[in-house]
Amino acid sequence: MGLTCVVGLQWGDEAKGKIVDLLTGEHDVVVRFQGGANAGHTVVSDGRKYKLSLIPTGILHPGKICVIANGVVIDPVSLLKEIESLRSADVEVGSNLLISDRAHVIFPYHAKEEELAEEAAGAIGTTRRGIGPCYRDKVGRTHGIRVGDLLRPDYFRSRLRMVVEFKNTTLAAAAPSFSPFSADELFEQYRTLAEKIRPYVTDTTDYLHQAMDADERILFEGAQGTLLDVDHGTYPYVTSSNSSACGLATGSGVPANRVDRFLGVIKAYTTRVGKGPFPTELQDAVGDQIRDRGKEYGTVTGRPRRCGWFDAVVTRYSARLNGVNGLAVTLLDVLSELDELAICVAYVHHGERLATVPADAQTLGECQPIYRTKPGWKRDISGARKLADLPSQARDYLDTMAELVGRPVQIVSVGPDRKQTIRVGG
């Protein structure tokens, strides 16, 4: 496989970081193509835990090139903290990291805009890191500032002054007690940050096309999950970018028809963070048990995740949308203590059976799940290294997931460490 894309098929937090880490050894280049520091990947190797937000998971593998592509929005402060954190853990970060000069930059006024929006009626539960306002400025064109702009001092200064004047006016109107930003202070702060990231900045689109011409193997990783995609997710309770594989081409400059394999990552159950519809949510002791055993708390925010049974309806929708060739099932071990499991196979909405995902969040929120129950296996599976090591009930559960989603299971994770992984059929 020359080019592979790993994408989450649920509401994010599917443990994509572990799967990307696992596949990095089979690739030369790892690319992050959308999102910002609101995404979090946790990777465990030999008992050591690494937390990443902006930098591709491949940075943990010596000799691999990691690309933060044009579709990502970058907070330079967060990025440099992440670099220093990795270096303090003896992870090399240097010529192995490339940052697109086309990527847009997050400024403090973006976080302030998001904070005010979240405090208003109709808040959707963002991370308040300025991701959405930065993407809004990007598509609005008038106030967007890109990484390459930071490296042109005169242009950057004049553009920043214009943007800050506008932001101060609009923020003051929304919050009379707001303290205005100083364009000159921001300029000095970001010019210093720009010099620190300058060695990594390049035209990553050109680099990736050269890599393809050289037959290098490229691995693309998305952030969040398909159901948070701004176009195809449970709008408006979504992120601000195309977090499905639909964002790969625009977010990296690589045509989607060059990708050989799309791998969809799913939890053995379902979680989501923040507001929005969640038909299979468990607001009971079982949901609490899954949350505690699965350590279902946000990598970035620490917020407790909402937990529920596996929803085959939304996962099948996501699998089709992304055109995935196979599934990677994660956190199967979390379900090991339960007597009985349930899988959502369809919905009921006002007496009508639905086998597909409604397009609007309000209707989805009114849906009631129709479940198929399965016996639990009540056995520790964290030591399983091949499919035959799993109890028959666990294998049956995986077969049912594959049948309902319509894609084969190719990888099964039974614990956080790299070694706690089963490759199906090889």
Residues with a known catalytic role: 13, 41
Give the helix ranges, DSSP H, for 300-373.
Answer: 312-322, 361-366
Each residue of 136-174: b (16+ CB within 10 Å) or e? Answer: ebbeeeebbbbbbbbbeeeebbebbeebbeebbeebeee
8 Å CB contact between 273 and 12: yes
Residue recorded with tokens 């309806």: 313
> Is the bond leading into 133 cis (omega within 30 degrees of zero)?
no
Q: Furthest-apart CA pair in the chain: how many Å? A: 67
What is the chain's length?
Answer: 426
| 276 residue type, one letter | G
Tokens of 124: 């959707």
| 167 residue type, one letter | K
Which residues, including other chains, have CB under 8 Å from residue 46's CB and lie 6 or more apart? 417, 418
32 vs 335: CA distance, rounded Å: 30
Which residues, including other chains, have CB under 8 Å from residue 164's CB and lie 6 or more apart? 109, 181, 182, 183, 186
Q: Angle 184-129-182 (CA atoms, 0-180°, nearest 5)?
A: 15
Tokens of 46: 């030999």
Q: Are strands 48-52 and 41-45 parallel, antiparallel or unpaired?
A: antiparallel
Of 398, 420, 419, 417, which is closest to residue 409 (Cα–Cα)? 398
Tokens of 54: 């902006």
| 222 residue type, one letter | G
Q: Are strands 3-8 and 261-267 parallel, antiparallel or unpaired?
A: parallel
72 vs 102: CA distance, rounded Å: 9
